[in-house]
Structure 1
Amino acid sequence: MFPSSVLFGYATTVIPRVYTYYVSTALFAIFGIRMLREGLKMSPDEGQEELEEVQAEIKRKDEELQRTKLLNGPNDVESGVGPAVPKQRWMQFISPIFVQAFTLTFLAEWGDRSQLTTIVLAAREDPFGVAVGGTIGHCLCTGLAVIGGRMIAQKISVRTVTIIGGIVFLAFAFSALFISPDSGF
């Protein structure tokens, strides 16, 4: 996701820097205002509602998996009898949860603010630094979500995170007004 965004942002280097600089500043301001508006309109327990939906979906998937195991019958290891469902070769290396997590993450990230921000940053700054920084940042955020997501979701609301994100975007836009497009930043 980030490398393709960086390549697209790098392609915009044929446009004079002053134009991409002010367009990106405007985009940061627009994203910041939108996030602040969304955050202020959210109910304080909106994240809890999403968490409950996800937990219900996981429970449904687990029950479906248990039913499938019961239909296939028990495995008798000593006699060499296993389930009648043939396992495809690629499934030996890639688990269904991997495919689901990859697909959900890919679709959620495609065209969202982080991808557009990466394009904007790659147009303004060093594409290699943006690619490395964006990839590491995304890995850390995803890792944090996997490891401590539930605990964090109970402590910090989605509303708070959205408002903080809006403030950060507005801070980038505001700071860009005081930095010359031709400066080394």
Structure 2
Amino acid sequence: MGLSLLEGFTKSLAMTVLSEIGDKTFFAAAILAMRHPRRFVLTGCLTALTVMTILSAVLGWAAPNLISRKWTHNITTVLFFGFGLWSIWEGFTEEGEAEELKEVEAKLGAEWKADSGVAKRNSEKEDDSKKQRRRFLTQFFSPIFLQAFSITFFGEWGDKSQIATIGLAADANPFGVVLGGILGQALCTTAAVLGGKSLASQISEKMVALSSGLLFLVFGLQSLLATIGGS
């Protein structure tokens, strides 16, 4: 059990760090932190990623109870090889962080423009007592926190790293996968909030994609060669 826990932890940590550096949610956290208080952005993004990691691990843990262990192991192996080849292909063919950054900036820019118009209209109608109530409530339900949470949560849904987390949890200790995933997400998100845009500009997106692709292929090969207990 100890080795399984350590294996799930290390695989999840490595996979998360290499998958999340320079992706859309990484840039979203970086851009949000440039315009809003970092503590709200960081807590919103981390809460969303923690929830997503736990949900993914639960799905992976439940999978062997729904279908046979042999099938979940084989599906996980195929996913690892598929994601490995996909990441390597992305590393050689896509333009990298520049396109990701432009896409995220455009999306957030449109949202901010819409939000500022709504806020302006609302501010003209609010009296002093409503403003005071709103300031009190936003300490507990910050719109910045909610924006960071929603952008991160829905941005990660169906993402390669989420599906890989499900596969890892189906084939390794899910508790270790959760711990490794949360730590990896915390490291990446903290780096993004503290200076992700400048950090990402100094990191080769091609090298990150190729490294994550090779890591997935190693996971796939290890899974292929592993003995399936109880199959």
For the pair shown, the structure with the greater C-alpha radius of gyration is 1
CA deviation after TM superposition for structure 1 residue 101, in Å: 0.9
- Which residue, out of 98, 115, 124, partners 1:48? 98
- Which residue, out of 50, 54, 70, partners 1:18? 70
Q: Secondary structure of 2:226's match?
A: coil
Match of residue 139 from structure 1: 186
CA deviation after TM superposition for structure 1 residue 98, in Å: 1.3
Say if 1:55 and 1:115 are closer, same or farther in 2 by CA, change over 3 A: closer
Q: Distance between the aligned counterparts of 1:170 and 1:98, measured in 2?
A: 36
Q: Distance between the aligned counterparts of 1:171 and 1:90, measured in 2?
A: 49
Normalising by structure 1, report the TM-score.
Answer: 0.75
Unaligned runs of 5+ in 2: 1-51
Greater helix proportion: 2
CA deviation after TM superposition for structure 1 residue 54, in Å: 4.7
Q: Deviations over 1:116-169 (max 9, x none)?
A: 112111111222222222222222221122223122211113333222211111
Unaligned runs of 5+ in 1: 74-80
Say if 1:29 and 1:59 are closer, same or farther in 2 by CA, change over 3 A: closer
CA deviation after TM superposition for structure 1 residue 18, in Å: 2.5
Match of residue 92 from structure 1: 139
Say if 1:10 and 1:57 are closer, same or farther in 2 by CA, change over 3 A: closer
CA deviation after TM superposition for structure 1 residue 33, in Å: 1.0
CA deviation after TM superposition for structure 1 residue 56, in Å: 6.3
Q: Distance between the aligned counterparts of 2:91 and 2:166, measured in 1?
A: 24
Matched, 1:156 2:224: no
- Which residue, out of 32, 44, 48, partners 2:84? 32
Q: Distance between the aligned counterparts of 1:6 and 1:59, measured in 2?
A: 33
Q: Tell me the matched-pair count.
A: 174
Q: Secondary structure of 1:180's match?
A: coil
Normalising by structure 2, report the TM-score.
Answer: 0.62
Q: Distance between the aligned counterparts of 1:30 and 1:59, measured in 2?
A: 34
* 1:165-180 correspondence to structure 2 within 5 Å: 165-180=212-227
Say if 1:139 and 1:178 are closer, same or farther in 2 by CA, change over 3 A: same
Overall identity of the aligned pairs, in %: 39
CA deviation after TM superposition for structure 1 residue 53, in Å: 5.4
Q: Distance between the aligned counterparts of 1:18 and 1:180, measured in 2?
A: 10
Q: Distance between the aligned counterparts of 2:103 and 2:56, measured in 1?
A: 31
